[in-house]
Structure 1
Amino acid sequence: MKNEIISLQEVTFTYIAEDEKIRPAVNNVSYTIRAGEWVAIVGHNGSGKSTIARLMNGLLFPQKGKVRIFGEELNEQNLWETRSQMGMVFQNPDNQFVGATVQDDVAFALENNGIPFEEMVERVEESLVKVKMKDFMNSEPHHLSGGQKQRVAIAGAIALKPKILLLDEATSMLDPQGREEVLTTVRQLKEETDLTVISITHDLEEALLADRVIMMNNGEKYAEGTPEEIFQKGQELVDLGLDLPFTMNISRLLRTQGIPLMADHMTEEELVNDLWTSYFNK
């Protein structure tokens, strides 16, 4: 079993509401993420998942409990060293660009971290190749599509050679093509580099790609398991304000029309195979 890379131990964080009532955004949450995993943290708006993201990258510190990164409790003394090993990609790609060109933008964080020029040039090109954006090195960011912008943001994150890539609703503002581009890029990076990926999302289609899913509800950890184990909850997820993956919705619709499918399928391949089996067994 691989080493623990992030853990939350009975973590609680409370915001003070306008009416001054105490409402824990995160309440007594514990979990562990191991090196090389892809873990999706899912939940409806207000479930606590965004607060979890801020606790993991040190934008917030828990009022109770501990956040441990790389085996050490996260604190103000080790915060910047810890963040240097964590790449972040946020929701709105337009808010992340600071360079006049794609290569300038990828180089920005490297320059801030004092990377020598020759090494910086190599890292910029290497990271853009990995996200298939090398041909756009001299392009102005505002000329790119949403998916391309997020791939450049990922390039900027991985150029720092982090151990963890944290995606905070990174696909929520993208069209289906852009979303597919980003998720394919992340999947390939994980396979090639054994990167630890944490995706904060309300999109269960994205969660399908994860090794493990942590489901938040009303500030608490509601469920944890493989995508298969989580999606077996079916209607329970819908009742909690989440949309089932497209293929599962199609499976359910077909069953209501009398087509004898074996299960609510999570992938198109599973659904097609079941349909063929049902057809030939008539």
Structure 2
Amino acid sequence: MMKEVLSMDHVSFSYQSEEGVTEKAIDDISFAVQQGEWIAIVGHNGSGKSTLAKLMIGLLFPDEGEVNVFIQKLSEANLWAIRSRMGFVFQNPDNQFVGSTVQDDVAFALENNGVPFTDMVTRVHESLAQVNMSNFHDHEPHHLSGGQKQRVAIAGALALKPELLLMDEATSMLDPQGRDEVIRVVEELKTKTGLTVISITHDLEEALLADRIVVMNKGKLLTTGTPTQIFARGDELEAIGLDLPFAMKVSRLLRESGMELFGEHMTEEELVNGLWTSHFSK
């Protein structure tokens, strides 16, 4: 049986505005993440994704319900022990850098956690190798490209040997090449190590790679399912302000123009295969 790594159990959270008005940001959310899964949490701006991320790592605590991580209710008493088993990669990698070189930056959290020097050196080299950044260990982080910076941020998280990697809009500031670099690294790590991944994103192209997708809308859980199940509800996703993957939009436009296409096409490869099949079936 798969082990449950994280669960939200009827979680609600409200903010207090400057005018004293209570605004519910998360409204009765429940779902679970199993060991080795990649879960993508998607939603438009203001859907509650960022608040959900803060609840998962204990920057906020729910008004109602429970956040359970590694089968423990997250609380102030166990917060640091639980965080030590998690890795975080955020939207802007520059905000995470503290070292003057790449290797110093990756080693920073290890040093804070009291990891012995010889073990620390090994972990730094191993984690940089995992993200294909071994040749940059003496480089200054701020001189790297966006994709390289995020790979260093991932290396810093991996050096701690986390059981769960949380990425909060980690590719949103990257160009297409940088985004592809980061996603490829995460895919490879998940395949090789069985790492559990939660990616919070508004990018449905990225969400296609997940095992399951959680769709948020106005603080509520709209639906959850596999990418195929979720994108079968394309009209509903567009209605709440989400942008469908490029291949799906092209496929729809081709059908509307009268072309006969078989099946759904969520990726460009599927679309090409669909066009090929349609052409040679005539």
Q: What TM-score does the superposition give when structure 2 sets the normalisation length? A: 0.98
> 2:276 corresponds to which letter in structure 1?
W
Say if 1:66 and 1:73, in contact at 8 Å, map to a contact too.
yes
Query: Deviations 1:212-241 (Å, cap 9, x if unpaired)?
Result: 001000101000000110001112111101
Structure 2: how far apart are the matches of 1:141 and 1:186?
20
Structure 2: how far apart are the matches of 1:278 and 1:6?
43
Tell me the CA shift for residue 268 of structure 1. Answer: 1.8
Instruction: Check if 1:78 corresponds to 2:56.
Output: no
| 1:110 partner SS | helix
Instruction: Check if 1:250 corresponds to 2:275.
Output: no
| 1:181 partner SS | helix
Say if 1:252 and 1:264, in contact at 8 Å, map to a contact too.
no
| 2:45 partner SS | coil
C-alpha RMSD of the superposition: 0.8
Structure 1: how far apart are the matches of 2:27 and 2:3?
26
Say if 1:224 and 1:230, in contact at 8 Å, map to a contact too.
yes
Q: Tell me what 1:273 maps to.
A: 273
Tell me the CA shift for residue 195 of structure 1. Answer: 0.5
Tell me the CA shift for residue 74 of structure 1. Answer: 0.5
Structure 2: how far apart are the matches of 1:37 and 1:105?
28
Q: Tell me what 1:201 maps to.
A: 201
Mean Cα deviation higher: 252-261 or 49-58 = 252-261
> 1:162 corresponds to which letter in structure 2?
P
Q: 1:1-282, aligned counterparts within 5 Å?
A: 1-282=1-282
| 2:181 partner SS | helix
Structure 2: how far apart are the matches of 1:226 and 1:102?
37
Structure 1: how far apart are the matches of 2:20 and 2:145?
43
> 2:217 corresponds to which letter in structure 1?
N
Structure 2: how far apart are the matches of 1:264 and 1:144?
39
The ranges of structure 1 where at least 4 consecutive aligned residues each deviate by more than 3 angstroms after the TM superposition are none
> 1:248 corresponds to which letter in structure 2?
M
> 2:231 corresponds to which letter in structure 1?
F
| Unmatched segments (≥5 aa) in structure 2 | none
Tell me the CA shift for residue 21 of structure 1. Answer: 2.3
Say if 1:96 and 1:153, in contact at 8 Å, map to a contact too.
yes
Tell me the CA shift for residue 263 of structure 1. Answer: 3.3
Tell me the CA shift for residue 277 of structure 1. Answer: 1.3
Structure 1: how far apart are the matches of 2:264 and 2:54?
34
Tell me the CA shift for residue 69 of structure 1. Answer: 0.7
The count of aligned residue pairs is 282
| 1:172 partner SS | coil
Query: Deviations 1:127-147 (Å, cap 9, x if unpaired)?
Result: 000000000010111111000
| 1:30 partner SS | strand
> 1:225 corresponds to which letter in structure 2?
G
Q: What TM-score does the superposition give when structure 1 sets the normalisation length? A: 0.98
Tell me the CA shift for residue 264 of structure 1. Answer: 3.6
Tell me the CA shift for residue 271 of structure 1. Answer: 1.0
Tell me the CA shift for residue 63 of structure 1. Answer: 0.6
Structure 2: how far apart are the matches of 1:234 and 1:263?
14
Tell me the CA shift for residue 255 of structure 1. Answer: 1.4
Say if 1:251 and 1:263, in contact at 8 Å, map to a contact too.
no
> 2:179 corresponds to which letter in structure 1?
R
| 1:162 partner SS | coil
Mean Cα deviation higher: 204-213 or 247-256 = 247-256
> 1:108 corresponds to which letter in structure 2?
F
Structure 1: how far apart are the matches of 2:21 and 2:125?
51
Say if 1:13 and 1:24, in contact at 8 Å, map to a contact too.
yes
Query: Deviations 1:5-41 (Å, cap 9, x if unpaired)?
Result: 1011100000012332222100110111111100001
| 2:192 partner SS | helix
Structure 2: how far apart are the matches of 1:123 and 1:225?
36
| Unmatched segments (≥5 aa) in structure 1 | none
